Structure 1
Amino acid sequence: MTMGDEDLFASMTLPVVIGPILEKLEQKDMGAAKTLRTAFSKVEQTYPGFAYDFVKGLLLKAGLQGQIDMCESLLRLEGLNESDDLRISRPEQAFQELNLRAQKLKRILSRIPDQITNRREFLETIKEIASAIKYLLDAVNNVINHIPLHENKQKLEHRKREFVRHSKRFSDTLKEFFKKSQSRDVFVSANYLVNQTNMILKEVKNVS
């Protein structure tokens, strides 16, 4: 595992693992959930990667360290993640379409671990991913047209370029997979694409 991969998993742990747990806690104890969410957010801002270290510490205490692949687990969990933390609240159709397209792409990517060993299913999934990427980029372009300030448009354009870069990286990883069958590289690249999708949503929430 590279340092870059560790940074990726660290950035995904709070929204993908901790966030959904706190949302479930809100249904039973809103006050406790709010306190924990605030605490995790503050600590994560001061010490980036704290949530990831926290989860790794829990796995170590439970004797599960080394038995759970964080890369694969994060990818699977993202498909189940319906957290409101990244959901854009603006009601206009362009913004709600972006919510929909982002969630659709992440759900398809989360199926990769289950389908990668079945060539026929995996090839169909790859086609779905390519289509979902195109629809997401179209949705981002529509949202850009709804954002008034030029500076904010530039920020979102930058996030879009980063997403495209990681999409191309994902495509290259798939080509290598069919030559060498290294599935974990596909999982890592898919997680990067998930993370870039989340960063687009965060940027839209910040600038809209």
Structure 2
Amino acid sequence: MTMGDETPVTTLILPVLIRPILSELEKQDVSASQTLRSALTKAEASHPGLTYDLVIGILRKGDLTVNMNESILRLQGAVSDSDEYRLNRSEDAFQELNRKSAALKRILSRIPDEITDRKTFLETIKEIASAIKKLLDAVNAVNGFIPGTAGKQSLEQRKREFVKYSKRFSNTLKEYFKEGHANSVFVSALYLIHQTNMIITTVKSKCE
């Protein structure tokens, strides 16, 4: 796996794998959970990819082979979004963007289970295309709330990035049906999830 391929999975290890574990730990020991959460969040911010290296290190020690792209994609469907990737504004446009973001990520997380069944997978691809369009409509609706030209331009730039990765996902699917490399589809889906998270983060930074 090249460094470029690692990018989406490294950014998603913390929110998708580690934070839900810490939330479970919180039921037993709140302060230990919060201390760990804070330490890992700071460490990841200073050294992006550190959490990924930690998890991979543990797997190697245990002599376990796991397709991390497939596993994180599956897990995305089982976790609800953390506050980091959820908008707090109560207006309909913001809540709609929350819903459309969560819906797209949920559909993408089904890919590992459905990719081997061509008929089901083709239906899922249609659902993904529809969810992408609805997400973009929701982004457009929120844009009107963003103060200042610079803020609007930031969101437009983020939207363009999302569209670029949507097209890349579409191309990856075409290649998959020719060559059958499922891992490329998993990676491309993780990029889309990451881009969806980045849209939410951008809106949060400009509006909250």
TM-score range, shorter chain: over 0.9
Letter in 1 for 2:31: G
Aligned-pair CA distance for 1:16: 1.4
**What is aligned with 1:138?**
137
- Determine the C-alpha separation between the residues in 2 that align with 1:6 and 1:185: 11
**What is aligned with 1:205?**
204
**What is aligned with 1:42?**
42
Letter in 2 for 1:203: T
Query: RMSD between aligned alpha carbons?
Result: 1.2
Aligned ranges 1:1-208 → 2 under 5 Å = 1-64=1-64, 67-84=65-82, 85-208=84-207
Letter in 2 for 1:195: H
Give aligned-pair identity as a percent.
57
Aligned-pair CA distance for 1:13: 1.1
Structure 2 residue matching 1:55: 3-state secondary structure: helix
Is this contact kept in 2: 1:77–1:110, CA < 8 A? yes
Aligned-pair CA distance for 1:61: 2.3
Unaligned stretches of 5+ in structure 2?
none
Structure 1 residue matching 2:116: 3-state secondary structure: coil
Unaligned stretches of 5+ in structure 1?
none
Is this contact kept in 1: 2:108–2:189, CA < 8 A? yes
Is this contact kept in 1: 2:87–2:204, CA < 8 A? yes
Is this contact kept in 2: 1:112–1:122, CA < 8 A? yes
Aligned-pair CA distance for 1:30: 2.3
Q: Calculate the TM-score normalised by the size of structure 1.
A: 0.95
Q: Calculate the TM-score normalised by the size of structure 2.
A: 0.95
State how many pairs are aligned: 206
Aligned-pair CA distance for 1:129: 0.2
Aligned-pair CA distance for 1:63: 2.1
Aligned-pair CA distance for 1:135: 0.3
Structure 2 residue matching 1:173: 3-state secondary structure: helix
- Determine the C-alpha separation between the residues in 2 that align with 1:139 and 1:28: 39
Structure 1 residue matching 2:99: 3-state secondary structure: helix
Question: Is the deviation greater in 26-35 or in 100-109?
Answer: 26-35
Deviation above 2 Å: which 4+ runs of structure 1? Answer: 23-30
Structure 1 residue matching 2:28: 3-state secondary structure: coil
Letter in 1 for 2:140: N
